Chain A
Amino acid sequence: MKKHPIYAMVFWLTLGIFVSAYSYFKLGLGKLHNPGPGLMPFFLGLLFSIISFYLLINSLFKRDRKEEILKEEQGQINFRNVILVLAALFFYGLFLETLGFLIVTLITMTILFWTMGLTRWRPLGVASCLTVLVTYFLFTYLGVRFPAGILRAIGMY
């Protein structure tokens, strides 16, 4: 039996219960003639839990051949690229304001181009630098203000 659809359903079920409980205890349901901020989320959470529970039961008892095919397909997938790309994206989000747009974009683009198969150093460097410069000037022209980060701290921005 496939486990990850079941984990997903358990996650949905937990989320639904949490939303209902939070709405009931923290937000308050109010009265029908004067509904409180928790009324709608409470019912949404409740419905969400019921449907998740139904799906959980269904996936526990269902013999699903399609899932087996999916598992076979997943066996051939190289997750390394997905993880590397996600790591680069998180790096961008976490360090954008500290390191600044220019540095963080250069590092991120180098990782992304490399992950996607641009492995020779010269084209990699040219593509990364060119992307940083073009996007910087284009988006600054469009009115986007990028964080300077450490370049401002060391007086280069």
Chain B
Amino acid sequence: MDIFSGLLSGFQNLFHLNVLFYCFVGVFVGTLIGVLPGIGPIGTMAILFPATFGLPPASAIIMLSGIYYGAMYGGSTTSILVNIPGEAASVVTCLDGYQMARQGRAGPALGISALGSFIGGTFSVIALMFLVFPLAEFAVKFGPAEYFSLICLSMTVLTYLARGSFIKAVLMALLGLILGSVGMDPLTGKPRFSFGSVSLLDGVGLVPVAMGLFGISEVLMNLEAQQSLSIFKTKIKNLFPNLQDWKRSIGPISRGSVLGFLVGILPGGGAVMSTFLSYTLEKRLSKNPSAFGQGAIEGVAGPETANNAGAGGAFVPLLALGIPSSPIMGILLGALMVHGVNAGPLLIKQHPEIFWGVIASMYVGNIMLVLLNLPLIGIWVKVLKIPKRILMPLILLCCLIGAYATNNNAVDVIIMIIFGIVGYFLRKHEYELAPIILALVLGPLLETNFRNALIIGDGRLTIFLEKPISAVLLSISALLFLSTGFSNYRKTKKRIAEEVGDVD
């Protein structure tokens, strides 16, 4: 099936009323949680994950994907009007977006962010469509050794790009891999770390862990903060930016689209990192860098475009290789698995309705999002006024019901609460949570490919270096580790020198 007939079939599937409805539900919920500070797209996808069990696989993935890229749109509203990011990918938008609102330009800020998001999102879908095919064809040649090395590289990049300590991120990735080994051994069926519990034989569920780490712990952190939202009181007018605004924004939007998409493909890159890079790039290229942070529209247009383009880029490794590049993509992989669909290079051939359905839904979803975010901006502003004392208990109840509904088992609720407490303490001690989820999803794949490669190689560990692709991927991983080690060594040396100086 060529690209155009595939896309046409995707649109035909999408325009069945119920599929379109799930696409709308996804982008609507995505915008809602993007607007509301306190719960991010990962937690929401995990909460709604059990509700998708009864849906056809294509509708389930379309809805969950909609939540992800919808959240990228909604996140900017809170950043601009309240100066609190609705989700992590909108942190940078606070810098200039809020300043624009203070100067009475909330309308153009919201407008350029929605339109930039639309352009970035659409660009990334087109690029995704053309990139997935060659990559999937190339990946058909991958054997267990190549897959093992690719997963290793994914995990390494994710930990390398972690915001906090690299070594702590590695520790969390290992914790996720250990959790992933709970349950029946994938090759021999022997129970591992289940300690006689029947519930643990299927392994530690992705849904309770993700909801605990990202839903419950987020609410617990919010309970501590007790911050109240003060919405900037201004009349939102002139949502469509004027000619001058467009002239200033077109460059950042174009660059944000390309940069966001490329960064989105990287494991661990995703939407968040693309916003920071876009902001830095625009500031460097600007003739007037001092205007950044004072309400420069370029500081809103670039990052907001980049986060949507990044969201699209993150689908590339999942759809072409079956390797999720972020915890969000991990949840989508989990959803595919629940529906008995094997993600990977053969996905396009075996389940074209899912692949093309998702692509077509992203086009339509982006249009829905512009309509939701521009004319209906007033509704989202009102949503922001929902008091926390109502919102937080409702989020907690959704988590509780979601965890229970996964297997109709109260043990999952307890597991979720335990991971909520674990997540709460990990956040307090500045550990990254994302590597745990990604490693939990990738752990069984990593192990199966590792052991299969050893069996094929008759026990030779050198098999991972004999295959050229595998050797290249492992070398990149090793280089990343070495560079971080070297940088840590230099920092420690400097610190010791300073301490010795202090003593002297």
Q: Which of A40, A82, A108, A144 contacts B447 (CB 8 A)?
A: A40
Contact at B174–A51, with CB atoms within 8 Å? Answer: yes
User: Chain A contact residues (Cβ within 8 angstroms of B): what range?
Assistant: 35 or more
Contact at A144–B50, with CB atoms within 8 Å? Answer: yes
Contact at B224–A90, with CB atoms within 8 Å? Answer: no
A133 at the interface (CB under 8 A from B): no
Stretch at the interface among B299-307, B333-341, B454-462: B454-462
Residue with the greatest number of chain A CB neighbours at <10 A, chosen from B410, B425, B458: B410
Determine the chain A residues whose CB is within 8 A of the CB of B171 once the complex forms: 12, 48, 51-52, 55
| Bound CA span A12–B177, Å | 14
* Interface positions of A from 101 to 118, Cβ below 8 Å from B: 105, 108-109, 112-113, 116-118
Q: Which of B174, B393, B397, B410 contacts A44 (CB 8 A)?
A: B174
Determine the chain B residues whose CB is within 8 A of the CB of A89 once the complex forms: 216, 396, 400, 413, 417, 420
Determine the chain B residues whose CB is within 8 A of the CB of A137 once the complex forms: none
B193 at the interface (CB under 8 A from A): yes
B255 at the interface (CB under 8 A from A): no
* Interface positions of A from 27 to 65, Cβ below 8 Å from B: 27, 31-41, 44-45, 47-48, 51-52, 54-55, 63
Given contacts A97-B410, A112-B396, A139-B401, are A47 and B174 in contact (CB under 8 A)?
yes
| Bound CA span A33–B411, Å | 38
| Bound CA span A27–B187, Å | 13
Determine the chain A residues whose CB is within 8 A of the CB of B388 once the complex forms: 116
Q: Which of B177, B185, B224, B447 contacts A77 (CB 8 A)?
A: B224
Determine the chain B residues whose CB is within 8 A of the CB of A113 once the complex forms: 389-390, 393
| Bound CA span A27–B419, Å | 26
Determine the chain A residues whose CB is within 8 A of the CB of B51 once the complex forms: 139, 142-144
A122 at the interface (CB under 8 A from B): no
Chief secondary structure at chain B's binding surface: helix
How many residue pairs bridge A and B at CB < 8 Å?
149
B494 at the interface (CB under 8 A from A): no
| Bound CA span A143–B51, Å | 8
A88 — nearest CB in chain B belongs to which residue? B396
Contact at A143–B193, with CB atoms within 8 Å? Answer: no
| Bound CA span A50–B451, Å | 23
B54 — nearest CB in chain A belongs to which residue? A143
Contact at A35–B451, with CB atoms within 8 Å? Answer: yes
Contact at B167–A54, with CB atoms within 8 Å? Answer: yes
Given contacts A48-B178, A143-B54, are A96 and B404 in contact (CB under 8 A)?
yes
B504 at the interface (CB under 8 A from A): no
| Bound CA span A108–B397, Å | 9
Determine the chain B residues whose CB is within 8 A of the CB of A4 once the complex forms: 429
Q: Which of A37, A63, A94 contacts B185 (CB 8 A)?
A: A37
A86 at the interface (CB under 8 A from B): yes
Nearest-neighbour CB distance to chain A for B301, whole angstroms, equals: 35
A3 at the interface (CB under 8 A from B): no
Residue with the greatest number of chain B CB neighbours at <10 A, chosen from A86, A94, A131, A145: A86
Contact at B397–A105, with CB atoms within 8 Å? Answer: yes
Nearest-neighbour CB distance to chain B for A72, whole angstroms, equals: 14
Determine the chain B residues whose CB is within 8 A of the CB of A51 once the complex forms: 167, 170-171, 174
Interface flags, B157-196, vs A, CB<8A=1, else 0:
0000000000110110011011001000101101011000
Determine the chain B residues whose CB is within 8 A of the CB of A37 once the complex forms: 185, 187-188, 190, 192
A95 — nearest CB in chain B belongs to which residue? B410
| Bound CA span A44–B454, Å | 17
B390 — nearest CB in chain A belongs to which residue? A127
Residue with the greatest number of chain A CB neighbours at <10 A, chosen from B54, B185, B226, B404: B404
Chain A to chain B contacts (Cβ below 8 Å), 17 pairs: A35-B450, A36-B188, A41-B181, A55-B167, A78-B224, A82-B220, A82-B424, A86-B417, A89-B396, A89-B420, A93-B400, A93-B410, A112-B393, A112-B396, A118-B390, A143-B53, A145-B408
Task: Please provide the 10 A-B residue pairs with the shortest distance between their CB atoms, ordered closest to farther.
Answer: A33-B459, A32-B459, A37-B185, A112-B393, A93-B413, A116-B389, A117-B389, A93-B414, A144-B405, A40-B447
Query: Which of A's residues lie within 8 Å of B, judged by CB?
Result: 4-5, 8, 12, 15, 19, 22-23, 27, 31-41, 44-45, 47-48, 51-52, 54-55, 63, 70, 77-78, 81-82, 85-86, 89-90, 92-94, 96-97, 105, 108-109, 112-113, 116-118, 127, 131, 135, 139, 142-147
